[in-house]
Structure 1
Amino acid sequence: MLDKFQTLCHKVLNTVGGGVSGGGGMGSSFYGINIFSKESQDSDEVDSGRAASDFLTLRLKGRWFHPNISGLEAEVLLKERGIEGSFLARPSKSNKGDFTLSVRRNGEVTHIKIQNTGDFYDLYGGEKFATLAELVQFYMENQGQLREKSGEVIELKYPLNCADPTTERWFHGHLSGREAEKLILEKGKNGSFLVRESQSKPGGYVLSVRTDDKVTHVMIRCENNKYDVGGGRKFDSLSELVEYYRQNPMVEQSGTVVPLKMPFNATRINARGIDSRVKELTKEHGQPGVGKAGFWEEFESLQQQECKQLHSRKEGQKPENRNKNRYKNILPFDHTRVILKDADPGVPGSDYINANHITGEEDLGYEGKRYIATQGCLPQTTNDFWWMVWQEETRVIVMTTKEVERGKNKCNKYWPDNDTTKEFGKIVVKNINESSNNDYILREFSVLNDEEERKIYHYHFTAWPDHGVPSDPGCVLNFLHDVNRRQEDIPGAGPYVVHCSAGIGRTGTFIVIDMILDQIKRLGLDCEIDIQRTIQMVRSQRSGMVQTEAQYKFVYLAVQHHIETKSLQLGREYTNIKYSSEAAAGIDVAKSLSRSTTSLPTTPATTPRDPKRPVSAISLPKTNSENHLPRPPEDGTKTASSKKSSVGPSKSPTTPTSPTFPPPASPLSVSFPSPISRST
């Protein structure tokens, strides 16, 4: 029965253009075919349907996001390659920053608008979500929830794959063999690899790998939407091919193993060269006025990676905790949530608060600083908020929203007025002083629990506009500088508590900027930074962090402004620096790096690598910088020494090697459930 099912699935996949993918980008998938409901209830079929929960995540890792197509092109694609219930997501052409779901139904295509407010995604009303992936997941899992005004159900059944080869950062596009060799030999390590377009065979690709201080080039064929290396196993995507050969290294005819240990990434840049990178990312690709800038491309690539972050959020979904969430579907991941201690075991949910610990991955070079990202307080969560602050020994609270914006309550006032005292459960808070400037209000609280008293500082940033992002990154940098200086002056201070309204958009933006500035402070201007990867790391701990393309770009601009200011202030003590509201001029910036410029080195693994685990950066000793930068969060990627390697008899870049192949892994036996039917 299973063989019959697999054969049928394979037939349908080829018809619709789907496939199974592992590894990067959004992967690719076509799942959820309602086969069993149309068959007799054979016991084998029922058992196969029950097994589907194990593959729900795979089903949602499809490359259903198409970054470069119009509504008309989506209609053509769905009619040519789709079936009833096929769908894709794409950027909105009429409202920049929003998105559109295009669904094939009744032989036609329906387009559904998705709003991105900067705090959440929704369908202009209804359920709200932290990420586009979670929105799609919800409506795929809950058939019947998405309806037309007439009441007719719109079903999202079968993701339609994007034709792009991959959104992985190891893909360098148009890059010659000699350029690839130069980059990998100068900045990579043995095992560094990248994928590029073939210069000699349009439509093909080349895998360039550094092995034994030389570079091996392996031709990748693409025929009938299948990828292979001239023999052996065929794959539905470049991502799947690369991930397979990371686990099962190729072997040259000479017997040399070709290990793919670490991707040579394109978003990772030298900090000193950020000015050139920002200029490059600002350029439009395509026709003037209608092309997409590099910021958009990088952010959309990041959005597609969000499908990998479908961690469980069961605690926030429990009935007793639902009223503690400001937005119904913006919930903390279970594995990083803040658990309130000394909770009453007789009260269900008493240990719950919508907050996550945010820390840096040491193998990416981040260390030291810790954060808690949380939502704006609700009246019923204020006591829990203060207990969390006390429990975690927090001394600095960062608030990045006003209490009310655009007529909507964003955060309940959780502090007393100046010179007054208020009780919040066991915690007594006295507001002993308030001061302000153009950008923020500083409040000093005396906080008492039993006989113990602590001073806690509340930094309330008020310069963030109701729409978009601040026009001046300097105001945010000065704010973070003051916040960090305060934290450094308090020995043993616990994690920063950072919040906005939903606790993901502005909160994520402030945390990521702070992390990268801290990295530069510790490692110097010649360290390598990866803004996209840092956001991806933070999103693995709380979904949706850094919500919009504008916020993503603002992170770049803030880091750029910081580096420009520091470059001009070399020789002066950093703590005396204030950021100008105008960008510094006359900076000696490193030569512009194309999208194929830097590597992400990793420690060679001695055991097979989990394909779901991101590649780790090698941990190297700190470098001392004479200039002290604003104290940012605990995440800073460490630089890898980049020494030039002596090049032995390297193979010609135009002569790909002919690999031999280890036995392919046994295919998984899979089954799929019937779609959920739920009416509203």
Structure 2
Amino acid sequence: MYGCSSGRRARGWFHPNISGVDAEVLLMERGRDGSFLARPSRSTAGDFTLSVRRNGVVTHIKIQNTGDFYDLYGGEKFATLSELVQFHMETTLREKNGDVIELKYPLNSADPTTERWFHGHLSGKDAEKLILDKGKNGSFLVRESQSKPGDYVLSVRTDDKVTHVMIRCHEKFYDVGGGMKFDSLSELIEYYKKNPMVETSGTVVHLKQPFNATRINASGIDGRVKELQSTVLQKENGLSMGKAGFWEEFESLQQQECKHLFSRKEGQKAENRNKNRYKNILPFDHTRVKLKNIDPNEPGAEYINANYIKPEEESLPNGPPKQYIATQGCLPSTMGDFWHMVWQENTRVIVMTTKEVERGKNKCARYWPEEGQSKEYKKIKVRNLLEAKSADYTLRDFAVTHEDGGDERKVYHYHFQAWPDHGVPADPGCVLNFLLDVNARQESIVGAGPVLVHCSAGIGRTGTFIVIDMILDQIKRLGLDCEIDIQRTIQMVRSQRSGMVQTEAQYKFVYLAVQHHIETASHRKQAEQKCLQLGREYTNIRYPSEAVAGAAGAQQQQQPNSLSVSESSRSLSRSTTSIPGSVGAASAGVGSLPPGLVSGGGSVGGGSVVGVNSGTLLRSVSSSGADRSNESHLPRPPDEIPRTIYENIPLKERKLSTNSHVLNIAPVTTGGNPPPPPPRKAT
């Protein structure tokens, strides 16, 4: 992911407190075919169950925990539950009859607390490194236990070493191996902050200051924003224990700038100094754009104040990651180099986030001709074909040609003009709608090069737009339950061009824009679910001809070992029984599930029975639309969705009404392809 280490939330798919029925509801409402989660078995203590959605129904696969290893009751054996799941995400899992079970999209659980000291799936080794490198004595964090799924670990720095204390979660209560039980992790931590624990060696374990995380589950951003906005200070033991929020996170980011002291020698050369709008805002040498096909006898001819910006990942689901070029606003002397770069990189979309003049100061030279006019910039000729103005931006269509030949190229200039001279926009919706249009254009052009983004210095607004777009692209690819880390994303972008996202206000705006996007997407998904639910009211009707099918379905439920896919797919759930050993296929890199894996609708999640009549619920459950005999009865969502989907709400008003506001959003059609799977961790 763009903004988080791959192992940080690797086991977010584990849900410690849900039943089989709960798993089915989650997967049907929030998931898609290929979504999966793991949970404790309700029938066998210590075992687990893997619940996978495929073909519009849910399959449950039992996982055995012998105390020595984990396996699917035979086949490959693993030391941890995470390794088992990771293996089957990276290899093909098959039933004995050849049917494929794909683990594509982890359906992440909600964190047990919104407290920022909770770090999710962080290993003990990584916790020690974090606290020893950046914390101090008394710093603490809580993380998920890797050895005991469903439990947690309190990691505390004491006398320059790290102590790990197991926190047990049993029947929704938390304790540290005996003694007092607490209703929540927060209550447990608050208690031991006031009542320090004592190790058997006699060392007192003080919880003095939390070591806060910045990673969050995207769908939980609302809670994180509310916490970061909190200004209430609590005095404990004479210390101000406040949640400094956005300021604290941004200051932490600023303090990490010393790690990005990369070389900027090219921009400092005498022949290049007059090409920099600001003498100290220079491109890093290792990521700078180098102009090609230039005069080798001209000193500095290959220099331009611009950097490539790209995610850390080399590959992502649904194609390669997006790439950008971040650059400064043009000077009169650099317009030719600017268009040289646009042509060289095959850039088709330019995003300008500043006015030409702001507060009486020149921010960017006009590097394009008037509408209907043409102008030459060194070897590049630009014709301004058309200008169209909206409330927030102007779109210009350019026809660009090179004197050395080649086809004419269309380049689209998106000039955002709603950014105020001071601060940030009052409305994140205007920026989100702007980016929606920009991305629609970029995606419509086959083979388009990097999106070029600039303001005046090429770091503040430029960084803000790029970071927002990066995170939205991550959510689009991986879903609303993916993990994001805004601070780390900015840190990663700053390692490619210094100073990206300049102010605390811009940092906060990134959070609020992502929050607004997720809120909007969630409302759209709810509208989609309501549309599907309405469809069930039309299709969940039992006709005389279906009564026979219903009786046949009832007989099928009495035969739990039947593998008749056509019949079992009629029920909401497909329950998994214990799997006898089958090692042969596993050696070939394929997990094989023998006969008896899937029952037609028997016990679910360890004993629960789903009361579903397979003859009546056939069409209402299958999201894939396998049976379309009554398709005409389904209400169809509108074919056209308004291009402007983000409601424009000033930030001050949003703070007062985030809980009560309802967006008027059209439901999305469900016939398209599902989002791609998340990137898979290398073994």
TM-score, normalized by length of structure 2? 0.51
2:204 is equivalent to residue 204 of structure 1: no
**Could you tell me how far 1:402 is from its partner in structure 2?**
0.2
2:237 is equivalent to residue 282 of structure 1: no
2:414 is equivalent to residue 459 of structure 1: yes
Correspondences of 1:19-58 after superposition (within 5 Å): none
Contact 1:339 1:353 in 2 (8 A): yes
**Whole-angstrom CA distance in 1 between matches of 2:123 and 2:671:** 30
Aligned match of 1:361: 312
Aligned match of 2:194: none
Correspondences of 1:119-518 after superposition (within 5 Å): 187-188=121-122, 191=125, 193=127, 204-205=138-139, 210=145, 212-213=147-148, 220-222=157-159, 227-228=160-161, 266-286=213-233, 293-362=244-313, 367-450=320-403, 451-452=405-406, 453-518=408-473
Change (3 A) 1:443 1:628: farther
Deviation per residue, 1:54-96 (Å, 9 max, x gap):
xxxxxxxxxxxxxxxxxxxxxxxxxxxxxxxxxxxxxxxxxxx
**Whole-angstrom CA distance in 1 between matches of 2:671 and 2:326:** 29
**Whole-angstrom CA distance in 2 between matches of 1:290 and 1:462:** 41
**Whole-angstrom CA distance in 1 between matches of 2:371 and 2:114:** 63
Please identify the structure whose Cα radius of gyration is greater. 2
Partner amino acid for 1:295? F
Contact 1:196 1:207 in 2 (8 A): no
> Which residue of 485, 489, 510 maps to 1:534?
489
Contact 1:575 1:628 in 2 (8 A): no
Contact 2:330 2:367 in 1 (8 A): yes
Contact 1:403 1:413 in 2 (8 A): yes
**Aligned pairs, number:** 386
**Whole-angstrom CA distance in 1 between matches of 2:216 and 2:162:** 30
Matched position secondary structure for 2:301: coil
**Could you tell me how far 1:345 is from its partner in structure 2?**
1.1
Partner amino acid for 2:478? L
Change (3 A) 1:183 1:513: closer
* Higher-RCO chain (CA-CA 8 Å, sequence separation at least 6): 1
Partner amino acid for 2:647? S
Aligned match of 1:147: none
Contact 2:477 2:678 in 1 (8 A): no
**Unaligned ranges ≥5, structure 2:** 1-110, 164-199, 201-210, 529-636, 663-668
**Whole-angstrom CA distance in 2 between matches of 1:364 and 1:286:** 44
**Whole-angstrom CA distance in 1 between matches of 2:212 and 2:385:** 50
**Whole-angstrom CA distance in 1 between matches of 2:375 and 2:312:** 38
**Could you tell me how far 1:204 is from its partner in structure 2?**
3.4
Contact 1:421 1:429 in 2 (8 A): yes
**Could you tell me how far 1:521 is from its partner in structure 2?**
0.6
**Whole-angstrom CA distance in 2 between matches of 1:384 and 1:401:** 20
**Could you tell me how far 1:343 is from its partner in structure 2?**
1.5
**Could you tell me how far 1:312 is from its partner in structure 2?**
0.2
Aligned match of 1:562: 517
Correspondences of 1:510-659 after superposition (within 5 Å): 510-570=465-525, 571=528, 576=643, 578-582=645-649, 583=654, 585-586=658-659
Deviation per residue, 1:137-176 (Å, 9 max, x gap):
xxxxxxxxxxxxxxxxxxxxxxxxxxxxxxxxxxxxxx99
CA-atom RMSD in angstroms: 4.0
**Whole-angstrom CA distance in 2 between matches of 1:508 and 1:586:** 30
**Could you tell me how far 1:628 is from its partner in structure 2?**
8.9
Deviation per residue, 1:524-556 (Å, 9 max, x gap):
111111100100000000000000000000000
Change (3 A) 1:559 1:364: farther
Contact 1:194 1:208 in 2 (8 A): no
**Whole-angstrom CA distance in 1 between matches of 2:279 and 2:367:** 21
Contact 1:418 1:431 in 2 (8 A): yes
Change (3 A) 1:301 1:638: farther
Aligned match of 2:206: none
Contact 1:528 1:637 in 2 (8 A): no
Correspondences of 1:3-18 after superposition (within 5 Å): none
Deviation per residue, 1:191-229 (Å, 9 max, x gap):
55369999xxx963568785644877676334xxxx346
**Whole-angstrom CA distance in 2 between matches of 1:362 and 1:205:** 31
Partner amino acid for 2:291? L
**Could you tell me how far 1:368 is from its partner in structure 2?**
1.8
**Whole-angstrom CA distance in 1 between matches of 2:428 and 2:466:** 14
Change (3 A) 1:351 1:587: farther
Contact 2:246 2:504 in 1 (8 A): yes
**Whole-angstrom CA distance in 1 between matches of 2:672 and 2:427:** 22
TM-score, normalized by length of structure 1? 0.51
**Could you tell me how far 1:301 is from its partner in structure 2?**
0.6
Partner amino acid for 2:648? S
Change (3 A) 1:196 1:362: closer
487-496 or 569-578, which moves further after superposition?
Answer: 569-578
Matched position secondary structure for 2:127: strand
**Whole-angstrom CA distance in 1 between matches of 2:396 and 2:377:** 17
**Could you tell me how far 1:293 is from its partner in structure 2?**
3.5
**Whole-angstrom CA distance in 2 between matches of 1:357 and 1:509:** 15
**Could you tell me how far 1:434 is from its partner in structure 2?**
0.3
Change (3 A) 1:568 1:531: same
Change (3 A) 1:204 1:479: closer
**Whole-angstrom CA distance in 1 between matches of 2:267 and 2:281:** 9
**Unaligned ranges ≥5, structure 1:** 1-174, 231-252, 254-263, 590-624, 642-680
Change (3 A) 1:276 1:218: closer
Contact 2:118 2:142 in 1 (8 A): no
Contact 2:352 2:455 in 1 (8 A): yes
Contact 1:403 1:409 in 2 (8 A): yes
**Whole-angstrom CA distance in 1 between matches of 2:306 and 2:130:** 41
Contact 2:471 2:514 in 1 (8 A): yes
**Could you tell me how far 1:578 is from its partner in structure 2?**
1.4
**Whole-angstrom CA distance in 2 between matches of 1:187 and 1:290:** 25
Correspondences of 1:58-137 after superposition (within 5 Å): none
Change (3 A) 1:431 1:576: closer
Contact 2:141 2:212 in 1 (8 A): no
Partner amino acid for 1:474? G
